[in-house]
Structure 1
């Protein structure tokens, strides 16, 4: 898929990659994993989701600004979401690991009446600043998908998945660890299918 490098207009110097065929009316904003553990917009799980989306849906993969324990990173996601919302009819969210927590918190804080479908892969249950992702899931009023590996010992994604199931979200479990080694294409297709249907 053709990719354009763009700079998002804010004070934190955000760089992003827009994967586009030039004909989309919908977009997915993809939140990367933890920036202090080499998380970036080039994460293979984000790229797998982007590559599996139908041509009518673009993908905006962005890098966070300077590390801010989750506060600034949530602001970065909102900046990306606002950029996308100004240009597309429909916007969804995706995140992996730390980015899954960011995506879910951002979806929970969406304006009333604006539906943002959200998918999170192996989401963390709590950010470094103490933000409670499990509680945020209970406030999301939009199509919701959570996927995680049954051998994941890196984050407590199961707690987030349980909260999602309680509010009628879709939960998929994979025989995998936190990183989905050898299964990235499969999980990318599952996320893309959900977001393609929801958008």
Structure 2
């Protein structure tokens, strides 16, 4: 899989890596779809090289979809980080016909909140999101405003994220909710996570 660095425009220092879809020949057409991947909490060493983001990138690129993994700009209590995700989505929408959004943990909540403001998205998947980033960024409320298909993947032994309210609301809205018997970090199950997210987003992109 080949990759290129990306500088996401928007006034904050947001850098990403664009992973290209696997193709059988160099002459193959460029992918027409992209997944934007939001990393976990930057103050807890979350970054675009996170193994869960890489697993999702591997899965979607295997399905002919590019993936933009990015790092947030300077810490801003969740406000700037949502702006970063929105700018990354905007970057992708200018270049691709179809765009999906993924995030893990803090990034899962960022993805849901961002998706509520982006009706152009074809799908959003959140892995172990927490319920709230700040008083103005609530994943439960965001679910009511999202127009595209939503997938939630949660860990039943997760004691890190406050995921239960998000899952309860997602079920009430008939979103796709998958429970895995593991902890917040999905240790030993990153490949399964990648395939679950890859199947969901890949089929919509």
Pick the aligned partner of 1:31 from 21, 38, 59.
38
Deviation at 1:130, TM superposition (A): 4.9
2:172 matches 1:187: no
Distance 1:110 1:4 in 2: 25
> How many residue pairs get matched?
197
CA distance in 1 between partners of 2:49 and 2:121 (Å)? 27
CA-CA distance at 1:23 after TM superposition: 2.3
Q: Which runs of 5+ in 2 are unaligned?
A: 22-28
Q: Give 2:152's match in structure 1, choosing from 146, 151, 164.
A: 146
Secondary structure of 1:80's match? helix
1:143-180 Cα distance to aligned partner (Å, 9 max, x none): 11000100000012121111111112100000000000
Partner of 1:62: 70
CA-to-partner distance for each residue in 1:98-157, whole Å, 9 max, x for gaps? 00000000001114xx24310000001000455211111121111110001000000121
Q: How large is the RMSD of aligned CA atoms in angstroms?
A: 1.2
Alignment of structure 1 residues 91-130 onto 2, 5 Å: 91-111=99-119, 114-130=120-136
Deviations 1:58-91 (A, max 9, x none): 0000000000001000100011001000000000
Question: Residues 184 and 118 (structure 1 numbering): CA distance in 2 closer, same or farther, change over 3 Å?
Answer: same
- Structure 2 counterpart SS, 1:127: strand
Does structure 1 conserve the Cα–Cα contact (< 8 Å) formed by 2:101 and 2:121? no
* Structure 1 runs (4+) greater than 4 angstroms displaced: none
Residue 32 of structure 2 corresponds to residue 51 of structure 1: no
CA distance in 2, matches of 1:87, 1:116: 15
The range that moved more, 15-24 or 42-51, is 15-24
1: CA distance between counterparts of 2:166 and 2:174?
A: 13
What TM-score, normalized to structure 1? Answer: 0.95
| C-alpha contact (below 8 Å) 2:109/2:130 kept by paired residues | yes
Indicate the residue corresponding to 1:6 in structure 2: 6
Task: Give, in whole Å, the separation in 1 of the partners of 2:145 and 2:173.
Answer: 9
1 CA distance for matches of 2:136 and 2:63?
Answer: 38
CA contact (8 A) 1:45 1:184 kept: yes
Q: Report the alpha carbon displacement of residue 10 of structure 1 after superposing the two structures with TM.
A: 2.2
Moved more, 152-161 or 34-43: 152-161
